[in-house]
Structure 1
Amino acid sequence: MPRSLLPALIAAVMMTMLAGCASGPFPAVQSALDSFNQTLRSLPGVEASSLDRPPVDGAVKIDLIVTLTDDVTEAELADIGDFASTFPTVQLGQGQYPGAVELRLAGSAYSYFDLPTPEALHAQLAYWRQLVAVGFESISTRTYSAPVTAGMLEATDSVAGDPSADRASQHGEFAQEEAPPTNSPGLSAPEATPTASSAPALTSAARGRLVVVELSSDERDDGARTAQLLDAARSLDDPGAATGEWDLMGLAPFTTGQFVQSALPTADQIDFVRETRAVFDESDQLASVHVRVDDSSAGSTQVNVTAFDDTMEGVKSADAAETFRETAEWSELMQLVPELQQANRDFSVNFVGNNLTGLGVFELKFGVRDCGFWSGSQWPDLSRDLEMAWAASLQGANAPTAAAQVCAAQR
């Protein structure tokens, strides 16, 4: 379809939807949705489209899912993106509101529409299409919202027997989940409008971009292949974003690297995550390692580790500290402290292990903030040893006060 005809096509669809409104609310809604979907399916490069209706708090959120053909061109993708971005203007029934718009291509997904101009949208779509062609397992590009949490740099303790409070903070630190709509309608909400939904729309100011790159199981054990793919991705023309994040899943087995920046991570940043993960090679039951890197002037490193050890199985809370010293994970945490200090920025670590008898899970939190060591108060003996390891890494003696001075001088 010629690009010059697309505005007229969109206008015609909008007139059809508006005309249908006069004949009654429900038929008009069905006519509007059907007309929109039929027009979308007729666009070159579209293989299929569907309207998902998951219930949300008594209302119905309508998500638009567009499956693209494998050979969709850059121009076709721009037209599809333009038309899909008008989805919030479709007339919906009472208790319904437009949700997400997601374009899918060869196992990858795109839902980043919070951009100021059509040209900006076209550039991001083209870049996503090129990233998909590089050969990663999948590429997901969507709107980025910085985690709103106190962060693991706050030394808070879990309530005995109820670790859920810290777990919420943990997930806020290391997962970029799609936030619920700010103005999602509730049970008695009025009919939704485009301004009262989370539907995509070109905005006066661009929001940040999150790119999630998943590596295949073969690539996770092949550093050379991963480096080749990342080099190919760096050669592409990235339109960039004011703020954002890159999440690389599978940099090593059970490992995710999260990089708080708009540009693709450098080779040195990738190596840092891999080296951090390598500290835990002796863990027989390693579940996950998440490393979040912020190289900005006020940034920090956050490491979240989940691992289980048979030595800790069924241990009572009174014996947990001494028993944990016998595990491989304790030695690994002691080794991790000086390695994180070498990055010369604040860091925090959250380790989650086995269930304890009568206490919930074993959890150990510690880190360095403004050249001062902090930790939770639940395991003071373990915390003191970790602090001494940190001090020794800076000036070779068990003197936290002197270590803090050395740390400040290095910064």
Structure 2
Amino acid sequence: MIKIGLLGLGTVGSGVYSILEKHKENLKSKVGTELRIEKILVKDIDKKRDIDFDKALLTNNVEDILENPEIDLIVELIGGEEPAYQYIVQALKNGKAVVTANKLLIARYGQEIMGLAAEKGVSVSFEASVAGGIPIIRPLRESFAANKIERIYGILNGTTNYILTKMTEEGQDFQLALKEAQKLGYAESDPSSDISGTDAAYKIAILSSLAYETAIDIKDVHIEGIENIEIEDIELAKELGYLIKLLAISKFTPDGIDIRVHPAFIPEYHPLASVNDVYNAIYLYGDSVGDVMLYGQGAGQMPTASAVVADIIQASKEIYYGSPDINGHIYKNDHKVKDISQVHNSFYLRLQVKDKPGVLARIAEVLGRNQVSLASVIQKHRYAPVVPIVLVTHQVKEENLQKSIAEFKNLGEVIAINNIIRVEEL
């Protein structure tokens, strides 16, 4: 028998408990022994809950779980940094395997946690930390092991993808789409981690660490959110043959790892362009397997619980048969992250300029001086004395584009720089 300590009985924790109870006999046959939840850590023992369970399982004292020698496996579903971090460290020091869905902890402390687990001869599993119910962590470590992963593109946040879908398909502005997402439970009351791109950054950092076997410091990931995306940008993207997505990008290059999260124009024909609403997708390229895309529900109670239980099954097998998957070696390399200023991209710029002769020439002069070449220029409706114009560049170095932007701000003819969005041809 494998005895499990469950830390947290919230949305995902309840889903995990329900799956373990519902499929008890099936899981027993898969593992070779019974899986039993021994104790569940909660804040409030007397709180009313929507699932049926034996209240005697509940405790508000974490030591009842972490210091219980009969418990083999800890499942951490509290989330956040503390006290989850201390609980995981204590569990590992006590020789207990750990399953977690905590992307923040794995992104920030993955190297330390995996090292401690290897030292103690136990495993740490975290499939649910990225993309909910989509299997990607174990495939990266096992199914794609024969490959050198060269690039990863991900739509990794359901909240922002839902908002951009509503803006694209229904013409809703950002604030209206956000309010609808909150009403439907797709966005938190404080959606800042999602909207700012931070949530997706944690996830692409984890995927990159696994793909390139190197520790990625979250502080090295360039992050931009979708707060500044306006309907005009959505419509112009369509006109140019693109859709706007919050894209998590990771590329292995000779100059370092190019890793970033930001809104991007992607071709409307690309498979990622059809990923809508709260769905997630990961599109990667391996040198042997070629292009692969994984698609599914990236959040929600049962998809996430499904990924957690899959890890519980695997960890339980390892415990039962005495063959833990020691993964402390996954950070064996020391690849550097490429500074965003050195990354090459095409760019979309939406400006407002004075309606007078010679303005475009002045703008072209600034761009040329900074080695930025234009692929196209679109002049929209005139609203004298202001003219909206759209510029799309060829591939240019980021620092050269930023030098041009700095000069535009001091150019009297440029009234406003409304938006700058990278163009990814994928």
TM-score (norm 2): 0.28
Structure with the greater relative contact order (CA < 8 A, sep ≥ 6): 1 or 2?
A: 2
TM-score (norm 1): 0.29
